[in-house]
Amino acid sequence: GAVALAACIDGLVASILYGLEEENTKTYASTKKLLDSMCHAFLPEPALFYKALWKAIYINPQVRISGFNYLQSKLPVCAAPEPASPPAAGADTDAPPKK
């Protein structure tokens, strides 16, 4: 569980991030799944996992892109804003507001 991982989480996360260097490799999906499993091991408070991830990103330039890509994959996808409706026909958009 999380207690067993806590002692070695920093080095473990840093070393596993190397498996995310190339998305086209055989190891990419299994490496991402392993990181997800490690994160879930620390639920409901995964702060220790994310602390180790940020530490790896900060200390190891070789895994920075992999780490940021992993973090990006965890962010929710935001929907594009709906375009504003055009003003109604005949509306005077340059007129000052009425009092």
b/e string for 17-49 if b means 16 or more Cβ within 10 A? bebbeeeeeeeeeebbeebeebbebbeeeeebb
Is 31 contained in some domain?
Answer: yes
Is 82 contained in some domain?
Answer: no
Domain that holds residue 47: 2-74
pLDDT, averaged across the chain: 85
Is 69 contained in some domain?
Answer: yes
The pLDDT tens digits for 54-88 are 999 999 999 999 999 999 998 888 877 778 777 66
Is 81 contained in some domain?
Answer: no
Residue 80 is predicted with a pLDDT of: 77
Is 59 contained in some domain?
Answer: yes
Is 79 contained in some domain?
Answer: no
Query: Distances from the Cα of 35 to the Cαs of 14, 50, 58, 89, in angstroms?
Result: 11, 11, 18, 55
Total domain count, the chain? 1
Is 96 contained in some domain?
Answer: no
